Chain A
Amino acid sequence: MTEAATRPVTLPLARVRPLDPPEDLARWREEDPIRPLAYPDGHQGWLVTGHAAARAILADPRFSTRIDLLHMPIPQRAAQFRSTLRRPGFFLRMDPPDHTRYRRLLAGQFTVRRMKRLEPRIEEITRDHLDAMEDVGGPIDLVRAFALPIPSLVICELLGVPYADRKKFQRDSAVLLSLDSTVEEVEAAMNDLLDYLDELVRRKRAEPDDDLVSGLATDTDLTDEELTGVTTLLLIAGHETTANMLALGTYALLRNPAQLAAVRDKPEVVEDAVEELLRYLTVIHIGPVRAALEDVEIDGRLIRAGESVTLSVSAANRDPERFPEPDQLDVTRHAGGHLTFGHGIHQCLGQQLARTEMRIAYPALLRRFPGLRLAVPPEEVPMRTNMAIYGVHRLPVTW
């Protein structure tokens, strides 16, 4: 281990190339896949950039996701998180057995088979939005016309949230995910969203409908407060992530015409293409983060109880020891084993829904508009380096 490798660094977000993680991460992964990281609150913790180590830590019960134990690697995030995410129902930030209770109640709603049943409706929603794009004509912002509305409508229907109220929750969740938001803004947005969903939960309890929130209200022992928390988590996690994958994925394909043609013309590559886009783009560009509950030794590094560990899955997904030619977008490779949905007991609950949406939406878009192209030079597309989930703010396209 060299002297330089042990010096604590801070987590970089700025990118030289918009589709590649910050360059330092690749260098650090080579030098030392588990290295000291200086956290903005003064904490001395760790940064993991290697695939094997990140995967091992994510699966290790000696590491916690409890918000009261975590230090955040990004200054704004630290304050934002502390004030908002320690609530009933936010099981992403719970350890077993609390986490297990929620996960058990929900996993049956997100099985591979359940998501298959949603396919016809997702196809229909996709078609409707493509029709609307065709009516309006290019140039058009693909984020607003396609990438954001499709997953938003899908999660609304699944949960039973009126889509007519989307302006409200889309705005609130954008504030919650922006690294530029102040703590006050984040608190206001969170309270606003919780108030709105609290009322929805009460309504569903009184008059249950045929949707997920009604089902949880009638069939489980979740309190109103817990159910509101769960609904908030699902609503935010359920639309922003997939929306960014759809827009950023289209941008990546537009910049790689041969890959785009394969996704458009060869139905048999779509499944692999979605996994590869998930790996290559890794829209989760900060963390996940864990805290050690006891002293843990990994690859000769001693992580002490209480120390935070940032698992850079964007760096891990470019680890050449796991994926040959990792910086190459290759939609025909088998990218299974990527960490974009996390790993371990918190691995994304909504991943089969996200996969279903992407497998339908990418090829449908590319087939409807075979001449799809950027309406601005690629370097003018504004990237979301200032958001908790990476992607593009806007994607002006035409055809």
Chain B
Amino acid sequence: MKIVADTGRCIGAGMCVLAVGEVFDQSEDDGTVVLLVPEPPASMAGAVRQAVQLCPSGALSIAESPEEEEQDAGDG
């Protein structure tokens, strides 16, 4: 999975950092999101999805690679 962060929308609420501090950080400058691990391993997928869901400003989304989508569908 690949995380897409739109810093233009981010309001620096820090929900993503609280949810998965290993993957998300915030800029010291304006508090907006910084991706520490833009392509997190599958083991973190659940937590990352939750962070995306918690983000109050809709700044985060996930771009799945085609193979993973297939895999996800296969896991059903």
- A residues sitting closer than 8 Å to B (CB atoms) are 58-59, 103-114, 336-337, 342-345, 347-349, 351-352, 355
**Given that A107-B32, A108-B12, A352-B14 are known contacts, is A113 also in contact with B57, CB under 8 Å in the complex?**
no
Most buried by A among B19, B28, B53: B28
With a cutoff of 8 Å between Cβ atoms, the chain B residues found around residue A105 in the complex are 30
B11 contacts across to A, CB distance below 8 A? 103, 107, 345, 347
Partner of A343, one of B27, B28, B30, B56: B56
* Inter-subunit contact A107/B54 (CB<8 Å): no
Pair B13/A347 contact, Cβ less than 8 Å: yes
- Asked if A111 and B17 make an inter-chain contact with CB atoms under 8 angstroms apart, the answer reads yes
B26 within 8 A of A: yes
Q: Is the CB of B12 within 8 A of A110?
A: yes
Choose among A59, A109, A112 the residue that contacts B17 (Cβ–Cβ < 8 A).
Answer: A112
Contact yes or no, B56 A104, CB < 8 A: no
Interchain pairs with CB closer than 8 A, number: 72
- The SS class assigned to the B binding surface is loop
List the A side residues contacting B56 at CB < 8 Å.
58-59, 342-345, 347
Majority-rule SS of A interface residues = helix
Give residues of chain B (13-65) contacting chain A, Cβ–Cβ below 8 Å.
13-15, 17-19, 21, 25-32, 50, 53-54, 56-58
Q: Which residues of A contact B27 (CB under 8 A)?
A: 108, 111
Contacts of B57 in A (CB 8 A): 59, 344-345, 347
A105 to B12, CA, bound (A): 10
Judge whether A111 and B31 touch: CB under 8 Å: yes
In addition to A59-B57, A103-B12, A111-B31, 14 A-B residue pairs with Cβ atoms within 8 Å of each other are A59-B58, A103-B11, A107-B30, A108-B28, A108-B31, A112-B26, A113-B26, A113-B28, A336-B54, A343-B56, A347-B15, A347-B56, A351-B13, A355-B18
User: Which residues of chain A come closer than 8 Å to B32, judged between CB atoms?
Assistant: 104, 107
Nearest opposing residue in chain A for B21, CB measure: A112
The 8 Å CB contact of A108, one of B25, B30, B53, is B30
Q: Shortest distance in angstroms between B13's beta carbon and chain A's nearest beta carbon?
A: 5
For residue A114, which residues in chain B have a CB less than 8 angstroms away from its CB?
28
What residue of chain B has the Cβ atom nearest to residue A109's Cβ? B31
- Rounded to whole angstroms, the CA-CA distance of A105 and B32 in the bound complex is 11
